[in-house]
Amino acid sequence: MKKYCFIIVIALVFVFVGCKDKKQKENKSEFSYSKVEVPSFNADSAYAYVKTQCDFGPRVPESKAHKACGDYLVSFLRQYADTVIEQNFSSKLYNGKAVKGRNIIASFNLKSTDRTLFAAHWDSRAWADNDPDEKNHKTPIIGANDGASGVGVLMEMARCLKLKTTTIGVDIIFFDLEDQGTPEWDESDIEDQSDWCLGSQYWSKNTHIPFYQAKYGILLDMVGYTNPCFTKERQSMYYASSIMNKIWKIAHDRGYSSFFLNDETGGVMDDHIWVNQNAKIPMIDIVQYDPAGSFFPYWHTIKDDINCISKNTLRAVGDVCLVAIYSAS
């Protein structure tokens, strides 16, 4: 989708010990997530939602496609959620240009103060700056996997949440202006990478409800590729290792161990960083990121289109997230 990799030096010994203790506790438990009853995640529908986003064209901020897709997402969520909030804001890109953004927040079971947060970004990158053909480096991308896949999964989850209520509250956020960080062909050097994830930066400092809190959060990023590889991203392990280990256990219990690998990989700059740092909500990132340290083959290229998307991958990610929700009910 968007970002550059970065590694922060952390106390790996403590992370290792914490993960080991957690694993021991899980092994002692006889509870199996494979037995949790959840609404059936319809992969055909999720795929259709991804395709519909792509059909608008590149969702580059302030473009006609961006506005039309945003309106579509709001209209869709209003059919299923208890409430939908549009959070309009302005920010500056890496080059100082002011641009308008639009975060979209849908909430379920408003009465519950015991809440969980799920998120994805809905904009697509304005530059195919990783394309093998240099002529395409300033061409906007469709962003089927890098953006639309996570949104499509969450849209289908919204439909499921309407079908079967939960005792916990659930909030879904579509972050805007996530994928507009400095292009590789530009000479700018922003060390803290704050030119990325502008929508989550804004929301994490200006939550849609004052003093909003959630027990945990899950970010979905590039979750539709035909040959998925989800690893334990280092910043997720640093901020929320217990959550990540739980989600990976669910995935293994549900039969998705070939998708959700136990490898721990380097940290990435993504929306979860700002949610953790600013909103103080422990959030993990389910992101396509292989042990070699690279994203999927068509990351930030013009080939990130609907042909990248697998219904099986969408189903696996959606099913795991739904089990996490309903096992807490």
> What phi and psi values does residue 162 have, to the nearest 5 degrees?
-75, -35
pLDDT at 59 over 90: yes
pLDDT for res 32: 81
Q: Which residue has the tokens 């890109």?
A: 93
> 217 with 244: CB under 8 angstroms?
no
Q: Which domain holds residue 220?
A: 12-326
Q: Please, which pLDDT band fits residue 14 given cuts at 50, 70 and 90?
A: very low
**What stretches of the chain show up as alpha helix (H) in DSSP?**
12-28, 43-55, 64-78, 149-163, 198-205, 234-253, 271-274, 311-326
3-class SS at 76?
helix
Asked whether the predicted pLDDT for residue 201 surpasses 50, the reply is yes
pLDDT at 25: 41
What does the alpha-carbon distance between residue 251 and residue 259 come to, in Å, rounded to a whole number? 8
3-class DSSP state of 261: strand
Residue 170: what are its φ and ψ, rounded to 5°? -130, 135
Nearest to 286 by CA among 214, 202, 225, 218: 218
Residue 313 has pLDDT above 90, yes or no: yes
Q: Kindly state whether residue 2 falls inside one of the protein's structural domains.
A: no
Provide the number of structural domains found in the chain. Answer: 1
pTM for this prediction = 0.91
Mean pLDDT score, 250-258 = 97
3-state secondary structure of 11: coil
Percent of the chain at pLDDT > 90 equals: 85
> Is 3 among the domain residues?
no
- Tell which residue, 260, 211, 207, has the closest CA to residue 236: 260
Residue (of 153, 158, 160) closest to 311 by Cα position: 153
5: in domain: no
The strand pair at 216-221 and 169-175 is best described as unpaired
Taking alpha carbons only, the member of 130, 151, 183, 189 closest to residue 69 is 151
Residue 182 counted as domain residue: yes
Count the Cβ atoms, other than its own, within 10 Å of residue 109.
Answer: 18
Q: Judge whether residue 165 has pLDDT over 80.
A: yes
- Return the CATH number at 70: 3.40.630.10
Predicted local confidence at residue 16, as pLDDT: 41
Cα–Cα distance for residue pair 306/315, rounded to 1 Å: 16
What pLDDT is attached to residue 30?
Answer: 54
